[in-house]
A and B are shown apart, each in its own frame.
Chain A
Amino acid sequence: MSEKRRALIAMSGGVDSSVAAYLMREAGYECEGVTLRLTRTETAGTHGRTCCSEEDIDAAAEVAFELDMPYRVLDCEAEFRREIIEKFVRVYEAGETPNPCIDCNRYMKFGRLVEYAAENGFDCVASGHYARIERDAESGRFVLKKGLDPVKDQSYFLYSLTQEQLSRIRFPLGGMTKSEVREIAEKCGFASAKKRDSQDICFVPDGDYGAFIERFTGRRCPEGDFVAPDGCVLGRHRGALRYTLGQRRGLGIAAGDRIYVYDKDMENNIVRVGPEELLFRRTVFARDMNWVSAAGLDAPMRVRAKTRYSQREQEATAYPTARGVRLEFDEPQRAVTPGQALVLYDGDAVLGGGTICGEDKA
């Protein structure tokens, strides 16, 4: 077989995906670049950068041109609205704090691209994520592992990938450090590529989720009461979905002690506030588990776990439940937030993950 293998490169116009494209081409693949157009925030009148703005598309197209690979934009606005934004709004309205980037990776970035790749005769999809995929010789399963650069590791966002997807995905940056990637970018002249490591949720560039949800649904979030643990009303809130667990600033409550949001009662439109110790708990439940690298959980298991991306892994024991897992952390955890992702690790490997939920739901 002399025919070159074909790779579809997910390009954002940024340094990482540009270097990924370069590395795939150097590895001998016949490459084609693609950018998913997910939203048109700018044309909708708000300013701020998104992950698929016109500038990003120009930048990605320019890198593809430099690398002499064909390039196209896949328009996924309707799907993105349906699968990602509408769910984001629904989850917020239910009082949880969703992580749309995880859904986007699952349904759009990899779901849609793996599908497109298969339909168009590509052998694989490559992206600039910092994570690794290895095949376990014994079980034959694909194992999702952390990126080698601990600062850049993005495996947390990828727990929801399926075995089928993993078999077709390449992460050429997984074994590299950010500085190595920068060096290649420098050498290739991708330095002009937009430098934008972390960002807010792409369709809410100003970070004001409450205002976004009001615009999106056309409904005002009703005001309600801040209630203390003893039942005292401490003030009025501007819509329960604007507040997140552990939040202290911006409550507008003049109280002597430091006061935090520790619970939300959406049904009664109450935001519960109290002292910080109410935020800590050792037991966390999660549902909709995806055991990305493991076959599943049938007995209690010692794991390391993260309840948010920026957190250090914590020691815990995972117990299977009817609808997911129960996690008993060795140390109490602060402000574990329903809707966010719980991701379990065994050493370097991502065992799986799910959505954090209240205890009765797991």
Chain B
Amino acid sequence: MIYLDYCADTPASRDVLARFCEAAGILGSANARHAAGYAARAEMSCAVSDIAALLGVDPSEIIFTSGATESNNLAVKGFALANRRTGRHIVSTAMEHSSVSASLAALERCGREVELAAIGRDGRIDLDALERMIRPDTALVAVSAVSSELGAVQPIAEISGIVRRRPGCRLHVDAAQAVGKVGLDFRLADTVSFAPHKFYGLGGVGVLYKRYGAELEPQMDGGESTTAYRSGTPAVALAASTVPALRSALEELSARRERVAALNARLRSELMRYPLLRVNSPEDAVPHILNVSVEGVKGTRMQRALDERGVCVSVKSACASDGLPSREVLAVTGDSRRALSSFRISLSHLTTDAEIDGFLAAFDECYEVLTKKPRL
């Protein structure tokens, strides 16, 4: 099997697994007031402090959740509910993961007004347009630092500058695809979400950074845990295993990225030979993601054909199959058939040259078979 879907999930590293097994031996709820509980709480505090130190934030600003989806839900809905009076207007983009866009849709059903900022051909938010869109009643701007389907990188510092000029307006950054792929200063935002399974950590755990002073209404009722914002018995071992994953992701970012950039460059140049292929990812997208379309071949069809040949790629990051074109590709290209034809190749520093060869051979076959079909 040639796995080229690393933006969906990555294999847990040996360090991560070792740390998990070690911490999983700890008995006791971190919420309990006895020796076992204190031991679990100490382990939890250790994980929280390490993560805060790695991110350059305060330990009080780290909230553990079940994943990036929960982090995004908590940030977007929790913020809106905590700030009912500050404004009903929310700005976002068509480049968001479904856990953000669906949370916004839920808020829309409760009377909030959600507006999407224009996206340029380069996949970037139009900063002038963003500035004009923000109104006195704009309560929240929610953007992804790196978009999940195209890998488009948003200028978070500039966006933060614009948002910060409006007192009361908050910035939520979905960093699920950013951590380990680009540098990101968490302090630029009010909330930032990510999940370690995207960078060689374990699934079932997510993090939400919440700036100390930012208000947030918990979305899970059940009493105070290690933070007031997320109740439930803390998953100590999952939290502990996040530390080595995050450390490697940050420390090895440049080396990993360089490796991935070389693979990406090779893929791009090889794929150029196919006349019906269009690259959808912008030039300056993260190298880990290469989104392409083959004219006249639906993305799901290509995905299946590649899968039959042992290659895993993805079509749309959202899990729901609804037959609709990719919102991201549509936003950038304005071409719905091209968006319907798109699929995503996502790379890792673990990807080998032989795997790229294997992919290219499989793709060549699929291309031949699928583009030869007569047009109806």
Contact = CB atoms under 8 A, between A and B. Distances in A.
Given A58-B300, A62-B298, A35 B323 contact: yes
B340 to A, nearest CB: 6
Output the residue of A62, A64, A67, A72 with the most chain B CB within 10 A: A62
Interface string A150-184: 00000000000000000000000000000000000
B322 interface: yes
Contacts of A54: 321
Contacts of B322: 57, 72-73
Interface string B320-345: 01111000000000000100100000
B301 interface: yes
B370 to A, nearest CB: 10
B321 A188 contact: no
A73 B325 CA distance: 12
A65 B301 CA distance: 10
Interface in A15-45: 22, 35
Contacts of B298: 61-62, 65-66
A118 to B, nearest CB: 22
Interface in A71-99: 71-73
A60 interface: yes
A62 B300 contact: yes
Nearest to B297: A65
B373 interface: yes
A207 interface: no
Interface residues of B, number: 12
Contacts of B373: 189
B376 A65 contact: no
Nearest to B300: A58
A65 B321 contact: no
A67 B301 CA distance: 14
Nearest to B301: A62
Contacts of A189: 373-374, 376
B376 A67 contact: yes
A71 B376 contact: no
A270 B151 CA distance: 65
A58 B323 contact: yes
Interface in B308-362: 321-324, 337, 340
A215 B340 CA distance: 38
B376 A72 contact: no
A339 B114 CA distance: 49
B323 A73 contact: yes
A356 to B, nearest CB: 38
A35 B373 CA distance: 25
A68 B341 CA distance: 12
A245 B374 CA distance: 52
Nearest to B315: A58
B3 to A, nearest CB: 21
B114 to A, nearest CB: 20
A60 B321 contact: no
A60 B322 CA distance: 10
Nearest to A55: B321
B321 A57 contact: yes
A140 to B, nearest CB: 37
Contact of A72 (B300, B321, B324): B324
A65 B337 contact: yes
A33 to B, nearest CB: 8
A60 B323 contact: yes
Output the residue of A35, A58, A64 with the most chain B CB within 10 A: A58
A188 B340 contact: no
A137 B256 CA distance: 76
Contacts of A62: 298, 300-301
A188 B376 contact: yes
B336 to A, nearest CB: 8
Contacts of A73: 322-324
Given A61-B300, A62-B298, A62-B300, A22 B323 contact: no
Contacts of B324: 71-73
Contact of B323 (A57, A66, A68): A57
Interface string A93-116: 000000000000000000000000
Contacts of A65: 298, 337, 340
B297 to A, nearest CB: 9
A61 B323 contact: yes
Contacts of B337: 65, 68
A61 to B, nearest CB: 3
A67 B298 CA distance: 11
Given A62-B300, A65-B337, A66-B376, A71 B323 contact: yes
Output the residue of B322, B324, B340 with the most chain A CB within 10 A: B322
Contacts of A22: 376
A64 B340 CA distance: 11
A73 B320 CA distance: 11
Contacts of A72: 322-324
A58 B376 contact: no
Interface in B251-310: 298, 300-301
A155 B376 CA distance: 30
A67 B376 CA distance: 6
Nearest to A61: B323
A64 B323 CA distance: 9
Nearest to B303: A58
A186 B236 CA distance: 57
B305 to A, nearest CB: 11
Nearest to A60: B323
Contacts of B300: 58, 61-62
A58 B321 contact: yes
Nearest to A73: B322
Nearest to A53: B321
Contacts of B323: 35, 57-58, 60-61, 64, 71-73
Interface string B27-60: 0000000000000000000000000000000000
A61 B298 CA distance: 9
Interface in A169-212: 188-189
Nearest to B324: A72
A257 B376 CA distance: 61
6 contacts: A54-B321, A57-B321, A57-B323, A61-B298, A66-B376, A71-B324
Given A61-B323, A61-B340, A189-B373, 10 more contacts: A57-B323, A58-B323, A60-B323, A62-B301, A65-B337, A71-B323, A72-B324, A73-B322, A73-B324, A189-B376
6 pairs of A and B residues whose beta carbons are closest in the complex:
A61-B323, A65-B298, A54-B321, A73-B322, A58-B300, A71-B323
